[in-house]
Amino acid sequence: MDEILLMLPGPTSVSQRVLEAMSQPIVNHRSALFGELFTKTSSLMSKIFKTEHQSYIITGSGTAAMEAGIVNTLKPNEKVLNVVGGKFGERFMNIAKSHSINTKELEVEWGKAVDPKNIKEALDEDEDIKAITVVHNETSTGVCAPIKEIGKVMKNYDALYIVDTVSSLGGDYVDVDNYGIDVCVTGSQKCLAAPPGMAAITLSDDAWEKSNDVTPNNYYLDMKEYRKSGNKNPPETPYTPSISLTYALYEALKVIEEEGLDNRIKRHHKASKASVEAVEALGLELFADKEVSSATVTAVKLPEGVTDKEFRGTTRDKYKVELAGGQDHLKGNVFRIGHMGNVTYKELAITFSAIGMTLKGLGIDVDPGAGVRSITESYI
């Protein structure tokens, strides 16, 4: 069977080199050997977050780090402002709700980016807001939020700035310390191009200070325990980590360092621009506002006359290209092309060729080669 090309906004395809790193022998997780792996991995992670602070690796998916970010910095009945313009913004809010934290939703139309002015207004209106949550790259809509500009607003307020960079870290510009981010979280299976199963978090001094005042309503994700174990010699994690996945994550972070973070981000931006142009060349319509279109995922409206099932079914079964569907009310109306991780012109050429052939095959009046031709022109 042909291998299927994953063009998803996570999980992304993992290189052979990273897969092989997972086959190393299991070591004692309370040993110098693991301590060294721990130190190397978290220090590379901090470099990618662009923070002077320690990063902690959590065995769990990205959502585990989102939950850790919330439960360690907010007490029940305290108020958090959640910027919600898609599925993942909503998830942050739902996590807070599940811990009896008082949530206030700043609703953003799906497909549009939040205006930092609205965050400022909300903070001015309500002094009880102790933190805000923002999703940098809203994977469900393909929209990038202006986290740098929001950071400038947040500098004038005491509220903590909590940011999800699960689908942007390693693919778009994130600068935790400079943007004044207090809690930043990510996951292994998106732009970092490691296998799913690991998450990472970093906290500012203000966030740590606040955490001293909070007893997390969650045993596994108590970050003070992670800090305590991380400060041991050799450093360790409070509970048994996935050692194999830590090897893989470390290798994936080394790959990023070798490519150069800046080069990697530019590669993602190029893939994004090329994808947007190819979508337009095929006569299709973007879901997100073009000016705020994500560097790592492009959401496209399904043309009239094709169902999601036949469209993505055909790209997958006939052409071996796996695309993502829409989430929630976008289900059946939108498909998403993940161009994160290791994606180059090669994957995009195959993808747009598959999209063109599929649309033509399903009876849409389209020039099936227009997309792949556009990719060629973008990269020549």
Give me the residues that bind ligand PLP (CB under 6 A), please: 10, 61-63, 88, 135, 137, 139, 164, 166-167, 187
| CA distances, 31 to each of 41, 161, 246 (Å) | 15, 35, 14
CA–CA distance, 282 with 94 (Å, rounded to integer): 38
What is the smallest separation between the CB atom of 4 and ligand PLP, expressed in angstroms? Answer: 19
CA end-to-end distance (rounded Å), the chain: 32
Which pair of tokens denotes residue 5? Answer: 């090309």
Asked if 7 and 322 touch (Cβ cutoff 8 Å), the reply is: yes
For residue 142, count other CB atoms closer than 10 A to its CB: 32
CA–CA distance, 376 with 104 (Å, rounded to integer): 46
Closer by beta carbon to ligand PLP, 200 or else 281: 200
Residue 198's Cβ-side half-sphere holds a number of Cα atoms within 13 Å equal to 28
What is the smallest separation between the CB atom of 340 and ligand PLP, expressed in angstroms? Answer: 9
Closer by beta carbon to ligand PLP, 116 or else 187: 187
Q: Write b or e for each residue in 230-243: b if 16 or more Cβ atoms lie within 10 A of its Cβ, otherwise e.
A: beeeebbbbeebbb
Backbone φ, ψ for residue 103 (5° rounding):
-105, 145
Minimal CB distance residue for ligand PLP: 62
State whether residue 194 is helix, strand or coil: coil
